[in-house]
Amino acid sequence: LELEKDLSQALANNEFVLHYQPQLNLDSSKVNSVEALIRWEHPRRGLLAPGEFIPLAEENGRITDIGHWVVMAACRQLAAWKGTPFEHLRVAVNLSGRELDNDHLVDHIRDTLNGEGIAADHLEVELTEEIFIQNIEHNRDQLFRLHDLGVQLAIDDFGVGYSSLAYLKDFPVDLLKIDRSFITEVTERHDDAVITRAVINLAQNLGLQVVAEGVETQAQLDFLKGQGCNIAQGFLISRPVPAAELEKALASGE
Ligand code: G
Ligand code: G
Ligand code: NA
Ligand code: MN
């Protein structure tokens, strides 16, 4: 396949880039964290979203090197923000189950943090519930090693992953990210409102931070604030943007 051949060159050609989507802390009304989302600047096809190449990279194994690059790029960005008005920002990176399989992942993250001089609590890792279904013992060990470094762990797409809730007892989790599908109609649908409220209460009572994804309207934001949600992310606040654009938006107080 042509895309697969291109993917084998993409890292060497420096074609990947991270975009950053700000997360609004609803207690302080400040942006304290951003999610890093990978894009591929394909020489002929233009900017490709992760859905167009991450599954392929997972199948052919390139995901390991791509994941290492993502961690390195995020840490370099954190290093570049030192001594600037953005040095308080925490960066969340996405890791798939396939990346957690790799025994060298935690060492790579530790070495990269150390190499760039970044405190581990400035890095957050987002994982989906798939990691609680397969290779559970291995994944549990990996997560404890990561958490022991001081890296924050978030469950992405919470509520749509077919896993049990039991992992919340046995795994070191710091944040829950309520899946976008519950937020889209949260102000119109009673069931979405009930589920969202329940997840916020669950997180609060377990001592976890809770993030709402896919916030697109002021009404959704008001509802979430009213329910005690900690953090909001979505197009209402900003789309994912290149670092320079993020800096401009934050500097102008948007
Ligand atoms: O940005 P976009 O909506 O296209 O992201 C789609 C999906 O791709 C999201 O579920 C996100 O978790 C995933 N994704 C984004 N960046 C990365 C990355 O760096 N690594 C992995 N494994 N997945 C990513
Ligand atoms: O699976 P994950 O939650 O990591 O996916 C993040 C993806 O969701 C990103 O690709 C981003 O572009 C997209 N996204 C972020 N905010 C919104 C939003 O408010 N509405 C919609 N429809 N998509 C969003
Ligand atoms: Na994510
Ligand atoms: Mn998500």
Q: Can you tell me the ipTM of this complex?
A: 0.95
Looking at residue 156, what is its pLDDT?
97
Percent of the chain that is helix, strand, coil (3-state, to 5): 45, 20, 30
- Mind listing the pLDDT tens digit for each residue in 98-117? 999 999 999 999 999 999 99
For the Cβ of 22 lying below 6 angstroms from any atom of ligand 2, the answer is no
pLDDT of residue 152: 98
pLDDT at 162: 78
What pLDDT, on the 0 to 100 scale, is given for residue 122?
98
**Distance (Å, rounded) from C-alpha 8 to C-alpha 5?**
5
Looking at residue 254, what is its pLDDT? 59
- Distance, CA 94 to ligand 3 centroid (Å)? 5
Mutate to test the pocket of ligand 1, among 16, 38, 77 (most ligand atoms within 8 A of CB): 38
Please name the residues in contact with 25: beta carbons below 8 A apart, sequence gap of 6 or more.
31, 32, 33, 230, 231
- For residue 197, what is the DSSP state? H
Identify whether the C-beta of residue 210 lies closer than 8 Å to the C-beta of residue 175. yes
The response to whether residue 94 sits with its C-beta less than 6 Å from ligand 1 reads: yes
Total Cβ atoms within 10 A of residue 104: 10
Ligand (nearest to CA of 126): 3
Question: Which of 129, 187, 213, 215 has most ligand 2 atoms within 8 Å of its beta carbon, as the pocket-test mutant?
Answer: 213
The closest-lying atom of ligand 1 relative to the alpha carbon of residue 58 is: 22
Q: What is the pLDDT along the chain (254 residues), one digit of tens a residue?
A: 799 999 999 999 999 999 999 999 999 999 999 999 999 999 999 999 999 999 999 999 999 999 999 999 999 999 999 999 999 999 999 999 999 999 999 999 999 999 999 999 999 999 999 999 999 999 999 999 999 999 999 999 999 987 889 999 999 999 999 999 999 999 999 999 999 999 999 999 999 999 999 999 999 999 999 999 999 999 999 999 999 999 999 999 85
Q: What is the pLDDT of residues 197-209, one digit of tens each?
A: 999 999 999 999 9
pTM of the model: 0.97
What structural domains does the chain harbor? 2-251 (3.20.20.450)
